[in-house]
Amino acid sequence: MVKRTMIQIDEELCNGCGDCIPNCEEGALKLIDGKARVVSESFCDGLGACIGHCPTGALTLVERETVPFDEEAAMQHVTRVKPTEEDLEQVLVYGTEQIDQADFGPPPLGETPSHLSQWPVKLRLVSPQHPALEGSRLLIVADCASLAYSSLHKDFLKGRAVVMFCPKFEDYDKNVQQLYLLLSANNIKDVTVVHLEVPCCRGILRMTQDAIFRSGRRIPLQAFTVGVRGEIQRSSQRKRAMAATST
């Protein structure tokens, strides 16, 4: 045992967003039962790269007795053997079967058709000059929400242009800048945001508010929260007003 700096997690403050995990290069952190936890103290180097990414301040550095940092074990923990081209080919081929193209086509009578009217849809790929944006009603949807809410096409996508992204794993400033460019270059009639109830997904609304404020335009904004079981939990609406205020 040695006395050294270690990460400490306040479980009361941790909301399970997971923002700290990808920033630990040693793989010392993992979400367990909805909370960030240290999987092995020997993997933690004590430098605290994860701290600045915690939105609730649940992570701190403390000096205490623990096992030494084992860099070799940590690297073995996060490093996976790179597959060869032959390995990949076997994975792709194994278990596949011939698919009749006739199986694909318009949905059967009574099923909801697709209301997607543009391509691409990922935020960072959509040009501010995309013809579908001018004069449109814009839907901004979190990646996971598009899968959780089964009636997204019928209830939200119909009659709207759309962009989607993950607020957890994508850069805040770059996403806000891209949204700002889309809003500034087009006469957007209104904006609808759809996101999941989980904490890491709520950032998409804040990014949208930030972008609308920066655009200087008064754009009606409404937001819908989807539960993890696929139900609409709540909605909010702001009419004819900037979506954010300066601080």
DSSP string for residues in 76-94: HHH--PPPPHHHHHHHHHT
User: What domains can you pick out in the chain, each with its CATH number?
Assistant: 2-78 (3.30.70.20), 114-238 (3.40.50)
- Taking CA 15 as the corner, what is the angle to CA 13 and CA 17, rounded to the nearest 5 degrees? 135
Residue 38: predicted pLDDT: 92
Instruction: Please compute the mean of the pLDDT values over residues 39-68 and round it to a whole number.
Output: 90
What's the mean pLDDT in 218-244? 75
Q: For residue 137, list its beta bridge partners.
A: 190
The arithmetic mean of pLDDT across residues 98-108, rounded, is: 56
pLDDT at 6: 93
pLDDT tens per residue, range 5-18:
999 999 999 988 88
* Bridging pattern class, strands 59-66 and 35-38: unpaired
pTM of the model: 0.59
Mean pLDDT of 85-94: 59
pLDDT band, very low/low/confident/very high, at 243 (cuts 50, 70, 90): very low
Read out DSSP for 111-157? SPPP----S--BGGGS-TT-TTTTT-EEEEEEHHHHHH-TTHIIIII
- 198-217 average pLDDT score: 89
- How high does pLDDT run on average in the chain? 83
